[in-house]
Amino acid sequence: MKFNIFFILLLISTGLTSQDGAQDYFNKAMEYVNKKDFATAIMYYDKAIQEKPDFTVAYYNRGNLHLNSGNLEKAVIDFAKCLELDFAFNKANLGLGNVYFAKQDYPKAISYYKKVLESDPKNEKTPTNMGMAYLKMGEHELALQAFDLAIKNGVKGPQVFFNKGVCYLKTGDKRSAIGCFTSSYAEDSKYIKSILERAKCYASLEKYNEALQDLNLYIRSNPNDPEAYYVRGVTKLTMNDYNGAVFDLTTCLDIKPDYMSAAENLAMAQYQLKNYPQALNLYSKILAMDDSNAKHFMQRGLCYLALDDYKNALKDFDKSIQIESTLAEAYFNRANVHKKMDLDRKACDDLKMSIKHGYKQGLAYENILCD
């Protein structure tokens, strides 16, 4: 979560030389803030505070710069000094909330955000930050309430609706999430990640055509995002568009070669297209990276079986069962290999094990393999 630095330019003219000097340093600091030379700006805030030790706004601005640069302890000191000098300086509570958010101390951050809202219930920025803190804590209903307050207080732009959408996703309410991502995109059509998240929601609700429309729109704007190609590829795979899935998942892997889930789904698509050598090669690469997945061995075994390589198919089904002894489908597939190798007793034993572990389809073959 990035915080926007909010500076107050407070001109002070008291006629005192020290205060005039402090104001000059303050103004100079603001010049460097505008140039984004924050290190030099901090140096001038130091000088302003040296000249005028009760310069509340200088402490506040310097605290924000420390927060922005990750010097959180210094930021705490400056914001606390603001409140020591002026208990009603409410923006310092917001600053402290942001510091503790950055420290991942979300309950403490929320406690400061609540102080801001106690004295300024119509504050626009604070409910958004508080909602993000609740979201980080997994308090999704409270996060939704905070984001609703932000919208009620006049917060504009796509982010708050996007955050609400994320909350609804966390609660499993994908339809409400779709509404929020739609509102987010309506606020700003350049906030295209709302479309990607909406596409995922549509896909999970089996609204595949709507998902594809969103994914096509998103990819036109972000042609190098591997996740988008992955989601579109999996959607096409689910729709039995295996050639389309191969294209998208291959593109995903071209952009991000270590995208394991893309490789798994690409192997499945190639298998469905009966491109067994390609599927076999993919499963071998997957297993080279992680040889602890029983289903991957089983899937590669199926590729060997389709290529009539019974010896290697048997090895993979053996390994699959060794890793996961209750994998019913692996027993069924090994029974098939044993039958093809005329090992009828072993085929029958494996079939019974597949049925024992819940593979109901095996019942239809019991009379054939165990006659």
Best CA proximity match to 92, nearest among 126, 50, 124? 126
pLDDT for residue 11 is more than 50: no
Q: Are 295 and 276 in contact (CB under 8 A)?
A: no
> In the chain, how many H helices and how many E strands?
21, 0
User: CB neighbours (10 Å) of residue 285?
Assistant: 14
For CA atoms 35, 36, 40, 42, the dihedral sign is positive
DSSP helix/strand/coil, 161: helix
State mean pLDDT over 228-252: 98
Q: Are 211 and 202 in contact (CB under 8 A)?
A: yes
pLDDT at 50: 95
157: which 2 tokens? Answer: 């732009």
| 82-119 confidence digits (pLDDT tens) | 999 999 999 999 999 999 999 999 999 999 999 999 99
> What's the length of the chain?
371
pLDDT for residue 19 is more than 80: no
pLDDT for residue 345 is more than 70: yes
CA–CA distance, 73 with 62 (Å, rounded to integer): 12
pLDDT at 283: 97
State mean pLDDT over 27-34: 90
Best CA proximity match to 25, nearest among 15, 36, 40, 3? 40
E strand or H helix at 4: none
The confidence band for 3, taking pLDDT boundaries of 50, 70 and 90, is very low
CA–CA distance, 334 with 312 (Å, rounded to integer): 11
Domains and CATH numbers, the chain: 1-89 (1.25.40.10)
DSSP helix/strand/coil, 109: helix
Helix axis angle for 294-306 and 276-289, nearest 10°, is 150
Percent of the chain, pLDDT > 70? Answer: 95
Q: Are 128 and 163 in contact (CB under 8 A)?
A: yes
CA–CA distance, 48 with 27 (Å, rounded to integer): 9
State mean pLDDT over 134-148: 96
| 286-301 confidence digits (pLDDT tens) | 999 999 999 999 999 9
Of the listed ranges 10-14, 23-27, 214-218, the least confidently predicted one is 10-14
Average pLDDT, the chain: 92
pLDDT for residue 2 is more than 90: no
Can you tell me which residue has the tokens 């998942």?
Answer: 249
pLDDT for residue 49 is more than 70: yes
Q: Is 158 left (phi over 0), alpha (psi -120 to 50) or beta?
A: alpha
Q: Are 284 and 300 in contact (CB under 8 A)?
A: yes
Who's near 244: CB < 8 A, 6+ residues apart?
233, 236
pLDDT at 371: 73
pLDDT at 370: 84
For residue 95, which amino acid is it? G
Best CA proximity match to 54, nearest among 26, 82, 30, 92? 82
CA–CA distance, 190 with 325 (Å, rounded to integer): 51
310: which 2 tokens? Answer: 């019974």
355: which 2 tokens? Answer: 């049925």
State mean pLDDT over 134-154: 95
Who's near 241: CB < 8 A, 6+ residues apart?
none
State mean pLDDT over 297-319: 97
Q: Are 76 and 99 in contact (CB under 8 A)?
A: yes
